[in-house]
């Protein structure tokens, strides 16, 4: 008995060769629309879906394959005589292979197509057929990736084993799930006002509640069930430690940018820890003033240095000077294309990776002499903050919005003395950096550079002491930032005693008055921002 293959693909890569291979193996090819036309143009024998169903395509092609003659042939269980008898009574032939991929919905979104065009590219028939075939995988091969065409043809010659059928079914349902998630994510960005659809950046919200809605129901920007789709970039040699397996995934959105879309120009393969540090470095670098050159040195996701300058080499030298010992083996992020002068300085310290918008030819010639040094280029923009910030816990997932605030927050003077005009830029720099330091965080700055960082301590006074120790003799006349309020005055006392003259902090402690009094006693200026920036 001749077998039947149903082909309906948006991605035509490898289609004629695959279809010819099936025809050579005595498969009848059934198709519709653009797939049928592509096969006819390639002189591959094809039977139109409308001939099989006895129904024409309707609604401008919206309905083609949604028919019992199609889905009955896919879903019939070959081991049940009742199913086969039912097919026979209805004059339906079984379908043995379904090769489907979907309308280019995500491509249309990425291109910024009109909303109606995007919505028209929500595939209905394709996912329905693919899911039906994957459900019946013991009898039907579900093929959604052109990369699997050769595998399928070879297995047809040798006999298709259950493991192959299961592999293809898993891939089919995964493709369907990713497609549905992409649609749901796009719809979450739509808003409907005055009967008009528009695309915005606002999170998903429920429509206005009706009077009869229960009072305990609350609106939320997060869905009741979270489905996410990421595509694998690469397997990694290992995770944080050699005994841990790891891989790197990125948003499935083709517009992916920032570290997940970075391009490696040179050096060893990236490790799990490299990627974490690159992300930390770029996040801080992109928040520093764009009108000046900026450099960041990261060690174990914490800033070991940061500075701005009139030239990139000046900024880098100052950033490295924050903590030269910790800069060894660090990762550097720069906000300008790397030139030869900066490259000469970069090569004098052992670094794991450098990320920048670009490298000129001379800089590349200098830095590529270091065989293992990873050189990365990166695209940036507001889209880097798409989606939510995720953190796994055992048995669950924490989801929050990104902490995008902090660079323009208003400073409220709460002490008798206000910061001087020359101290305010240093306070701004320290405040931006503190947001990127593990809590509890205390950051010291002087002029255009950080001079000491106290990170990740269990008490804020210990972070204060570590920051002072790191700064050594440079503390006198410096300023400090604290990512959260001072719970006691001891941290302020430690900073003032070392020579700090101005402090920025969120405020909000029950002991704020005591802390402010300590600053006044020490003649230290203090400003509140009203917003904390924990980084756990």
pLDDT in tens, 112-158: 888 889 898 888 888 998 999 999 999 999 999 999 999 999 999 88
CA gap 488, 1 in Å, rounded: 85
What residues contact 346, with CB distance under 8 A and at least 6 apart? 316, 332, 338, 354, 367
Instruction: Kindly report the three-state secondary structure assignment for every residue of 498-510.
Output: HCCCEEEECCCCC
CA gap 353, 288 in Å, rounded: 20
Burial class for 377, CB neighbours closer than 10 Å (0-12, 13-18, 19+)? middle
CA gap 186, 181 in Å, rounded: 9
Residues identified as active-site: 135, 300
DSSP 323: -
Q: Are 494 and 522 in contact (CB under 8 A)?
A: no
CA gap 244, 112 in Å, rounded: 40
DSSP 510: T
Question: Which residue do the tokens 């490298």 mark?
Answer: 359
Q: Which residue has better confidence, 446 or 201?
A: 446
Distance of CA 200 to the CA centre of its chain: 19
CA gap 345, 314 in Å, rounded: 10
Q: What is the pTM of this model?
A: 0.77
Query: Which segment, 58-67, 71-80, 200-209, 358-367, is predicted with the most confidence on average?
Result: 358-367
Closest among 53, 62, 55, 59 to 30, alpha carbons compared: 53
- Quote the mean pLDDT of the chain: 89
Q: Quick one: CA dihedral 286, 295, 529, 487, positive or negative?
A: positive
Share of the chain above pLDDT 90, in %: 62
The pLDDT, as a whole number, for residue 143 is: 94
Q: Cα dist. 293→147, 312, 365 in Å? A: 45, 5, 22
User: Angle at which helices 81-90 and 68-75 pack, to 10 degrees?
Assistant: 160
Q: Are 429 and 436 in contact (CB under 8 A)?
A: no
Distance of CA 54 to the CA centre of its chain: 47
> Once rounded to an integer, what is the mean pLDDT over residues 475-488?
96
78-122 pLDDT, tens digit each: 888 988 888 888 888 899 999 998 888 888 887 888 888 989 888
Closest among 524, 530, 526 to 484, alpha carbons compared: 530
Closest among 115, 116, 125 to 64, alpha carbons compared: 125
Closest among 478, 425, 424, 477 to 454, alpha carbons compared: 478
> What are φ and ψ of residue 237, in 5° steps?
-55, -40
Q: Is the preceding peptide bond at 85 cis, omega within 30 degrees of 0? A: no
Q: What's the first-to-final CA gap in the chain, in angstroms?
A: 64
Query: Which segment, 224-238, 245-259, 335-349, 381-395, is predicted with the most confidence on average?
Result: 335-349
CA gap 199, 192 in Å, rounded: 9
**In the chain, count of helices (H) and strands (E)?**
19, 23
The pLDDT, as a whole number, for residue 212 is: 47
Please, what are the domains in the chain? 3-190 (3.40.50.1380), 257-381 (3.40.140.20), 412-528 (3.40.140.20)
CA gap 66, 6 in Å, rounded: 13
Count other Cβ atoms within 10 Å, centred on residue 503.
Answer: 29
Q: Retrieve residue 168's tokens.
A: 């293809």
CA gap 281, 265 in Å, rounded: 18
């Amino acid at each position: 008995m001749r077998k039947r293959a149903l082909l309906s693909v948006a991605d035509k890569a490898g289609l004629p060769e695959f279809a010819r291979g099936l025809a050579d193996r005595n498969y009848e090819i059934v198709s519709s629309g653009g797939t049928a036309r592509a096969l006819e143009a390639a002189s591959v024998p094809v039977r139109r879906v409308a001939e099989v169903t006895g129904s024409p395509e309707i609604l401008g092609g919206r309905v083609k394959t949604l028919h019992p003659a199609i889905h009955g042939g896919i879903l019939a269980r070959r081991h049940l005589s009742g199913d086969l008898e039912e097919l026979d009574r209805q004059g339906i032939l079984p379908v043995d292979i379904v090769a489907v991929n979907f309308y280019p919905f995500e491509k249309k979104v990425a291109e910024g197509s009109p909303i109606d065009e995007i919505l028209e590219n929500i595939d209905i028939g394709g996912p329905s057929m693919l899911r039906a075939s994957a459900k019946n995988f013991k009898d039907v091969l579900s093929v959604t990736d052109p990369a699997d065409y050769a595998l399928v043809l070879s297995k047809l010659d040798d006999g298709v084993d259950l493991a192959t059928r299961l592999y293809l079914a898993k891939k089919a349902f995964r493709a369907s799930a990713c497609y549905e998630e992409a649609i749901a994510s796009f719809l979450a960005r739509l808003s409907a006002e005055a009967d008009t659809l528009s695309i915005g950046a606002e999170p998903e919200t429920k429509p206005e509640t009706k009077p009869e809605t229960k009072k305990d129901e609350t609106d939320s920007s997060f869905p009741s069930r979270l489905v996410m789709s990421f595509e694998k970039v690469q397997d990694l040699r290992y995770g944080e430690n050699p005994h841990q397996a790891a891989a790197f995934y990125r948003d499935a959105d083709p517009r992916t940018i920032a570290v997940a879309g970075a391009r490696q120009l040179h050096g060893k393969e990236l490790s799990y820890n490299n990627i974490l540090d690159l992300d930390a470095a770029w996040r801080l670098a992109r928040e520093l003033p764009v009108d000046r050159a900026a450099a960041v040195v990261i060690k174990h996701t914490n800033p070991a240095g940061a500075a701005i300058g009139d030239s990139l080499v000046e900024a880098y030298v100052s950033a490295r000077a924050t903590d030269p010992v910790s800069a060894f083996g660090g990762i550097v992020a720069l906000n300008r294309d790397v030139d030869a002068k900066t490259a000469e300085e970069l090569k004098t310290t052992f670094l794991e990776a450098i990320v920048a918008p670009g490298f000129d030819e001379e800089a590349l010639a200098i830095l590529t002499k270091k065989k293992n040094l990873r050189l990365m280029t990166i695209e940036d923009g507001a889209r880097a903050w798409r989606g939510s910030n995720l953190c796994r816990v055992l048995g669950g997932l924490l989801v929050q919005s990104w902490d995008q605030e902090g660079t323009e927050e208003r400073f409220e003077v709460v002490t008798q003395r206000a910061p001087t005009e020359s101290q305010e830029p240093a306070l701004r720099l320290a405040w931006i950096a503190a947001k990127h330091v593990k809590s509890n965080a205390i950051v010291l700055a002087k002029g255009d550079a950080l001079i000491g960082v106290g990170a990740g301590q269990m008490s804020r006074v210990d972070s204060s002491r570590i920051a002072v120790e790191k700064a050594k003799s440079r503390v006198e006349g410096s300023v400090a930032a604290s990512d959260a309020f001072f719970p006691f005055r001891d941290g302020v006392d430690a900073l003032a005693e070392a020579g700090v003259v101005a402090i920025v902090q969120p405020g909000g402690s029950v002991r704020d008055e005591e802390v402010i009094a300590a600053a006044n006693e020490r003649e230290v200026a203090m400003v509140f921002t009203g917003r904390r920036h924990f980084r756990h």
